[in-house]
Amino acid sequence: MGLISLSHGSGGRLTRELIREVFLKELGNEFLHPLTDSAILNISGPRLAFTTDSYVVDPIFFPGGDIGRLSVFGTVNDISVMGARPLSLSLGLIIEEGFALEDLRRIVHSIKVSCEEAGVKVVTGDTKVVERGKGDGIFINTSGIGVLEDGIDLSTGRIEEGDVIIVSGTVGDHGAAIMAKRQDLGFDLEIESDCAPLNHLIGKVLSLGEAIRFMRDPTRGGLAGVLAEIAEDGVEMEVREVDVPIREEVQGFCEILGIDPLYLACEGRVVIVSARKGAEEVLKRLRSHPLGRGASLIGEVIGKGKGGVYLKTAYGTRRVLQLPAEYNLPRIC
């Protein structure tokens, strides 16, 4: 039939067939193949980064990506912004009864390709199936492990007055792509998600050492969300609106809907707080990588103590950027 049934999640023979024919076929590797309860990994470094994220994005296929791609890169990026090198992922699926097996295959294949792109492996997994109407197609959890080299310690606590704020490319692409796909705007607007793995790009600047204070990928809440979080730790910043790179089509889309692109999620961008001395080198290295071509210096740290984010608008005015109570964009990732 080609539909997922409750039996596929029951742990019986059909579950094992699904694992073999769909998962192992695409994702098989020496760690995953034994199908034991845990993967056994040899880890070189003494410090590990460990993270988890559930992906409930709606729709599951969108321009520039899909839930599988997102679930690999989202977790790879959460590890990468800690300065760690992502190695291994877990993959936990919650599938709704009646989900098309063809779509599952497509997603698993996308996970395979994305893992190759990022240089990571799925080493352990789990599949559950819930009754029709008790889920929504497919939800994916990926947890990830990365190795953190000695001497790397990125945190808001290391940010100093005079530091600069850099973003690696245009902001809001992912959020706009999802929203545009969801809404029928009555005209053709092709916005692609920026969904991409950041580990290789971040690797290019990590070796600059002390100059790199802090990194974060602006997902839910967008650039504004990341800045507001840094501000919560007592950092005062000024950001110049005109210097924030925004795609023309994203800007246009936001103007039509009356939303602020600074709050829209990215899935392939990193915000870096860097020492001013060294910022030119950071920009140069970012721009030498395909994912960092649009890197831009967007603002400065103007003080510490009572945190805050000030936006210098294109009209020369200055307004406070807030972390809103909500983003009105459920299921963006």
Kindly identify the residues of this chain, within the stretch 208-267, that bind a second copy according to CB under 8 A: 216-217, 219-221, 225
Q: Classify residue 2 as left (phi > 0), alpha (psi -120 to 50) or beta.
A: left
In the region spanning residues 270 to 299, those forming contacts with a second copy, defined by CB under 8 A, are none
φ, ψ at 275 (rounded to 5°): -60, 145
When binding is defined by CB under 8 A, the residue of 19, 67, 123, 171 that contacts a second copy is 123
- Supply the minimum distance, in Å, between the C-beta of residue 122 and a second copy: 10
- Which residues, other chains included, contact 217 with Cβ-Cβ below 8 Å and sequence gap of 6+? 77, 78, 80, 81, 198, 226, 266, 267, 269, 270, 271
From 44-52, 104-112, 195-203, 297-305, give the range in contact with a second copy by CB under 8 A.
44-52
- Which residues, other chains included, contact 141 with Cβ-Cβ below 8 Å and sequence gap of 6+? 52, 53, 54, 55, 71, 90, 91, 92, 93, 94
When binding is defined by CB under 8 A, the residue of 29, 33, 36, 116 that contacts a second copy is 36
When binding is defined by CB under 8 A, the residue of 22, 81, 138, 321 that contacts a second copy is 81
Going residue by residue from 154 to 173, which x/- string records binding to a second copy, judged by CB under 8 A?
-x------------------
The answer to whether 317 contacts a second copy (rule: CB under 8 A) is: no
Nearer to a second copy, 173 or 300 (CB): 173
CB atoms within 10 A of CB 144: 27
Nearer to a second copy, 84 or 311 (CB): 84
In the region spanning residues 83 to 112, those forming contacts with a second copy, defined by CB under 8 A, are 84, 88, 90-94
From 60-68, 109-117, 126-134, 273-281, give the range in contact with a second copy by CB under 8 A.
126-134
* Pair 283, 166: CB distance under 8 Å: yes
When binding is defined by CB under 8 A, the residue of 19, 26, 27, 51 that contacts a second copy is 51
- Which residues, other chains included, contact 267 with Cβ-Cβ below 8 Å and sequence gap of 6+? 65, 70, 73, 74, 77, 173, 174, 193, 194, 195, 196, 217, 219, 333
Nearer to a second copy, 134 or 293 (CB): 134
- Which residues, other chains included, contact 34 with Cβ-Cβ below 8 Å and sequence gap of 6+? none
CB atoms within 10 A of CB 16: 12
- How far is the C-alpha of 329 from the C-alpha of 333, rounded, in Å? 10
- How far is the C-alpha of 213 from the C-alpha of 157, rounded, in Å? 8
Nearer to a second copy, 50 or 280 (CB): 50
Nearest to 77 by CA among 273, 207, 244, 220: 220
The answer to whether 10 contacts a second copy (rule: CB under 8 A) is: yes
The answer to whether 14 contacts a second copy (rule: CB under 8 A) is: yes
Nearer to a second copy, 148 or 171 (CB): 148
- Supply the minimum distance, in Å, between the C-beta of residue 46 and a second copy: 6
- The first and second tokens of residue 109, run together, are 């294949």
- How far is the C-alpha of 226 from the C-alpha of 216, rounded, in Å? 7
When binding is defined by CB under 8 A, the residue of 144, 261, 268, 307 that contacts a second copy is 144
When binding is defined by CB under 8 A, the residue of 29, 38, 207, 288 that contacts a second copy is 38
Nearer to a second copy, 51 or 114 (CB): 51
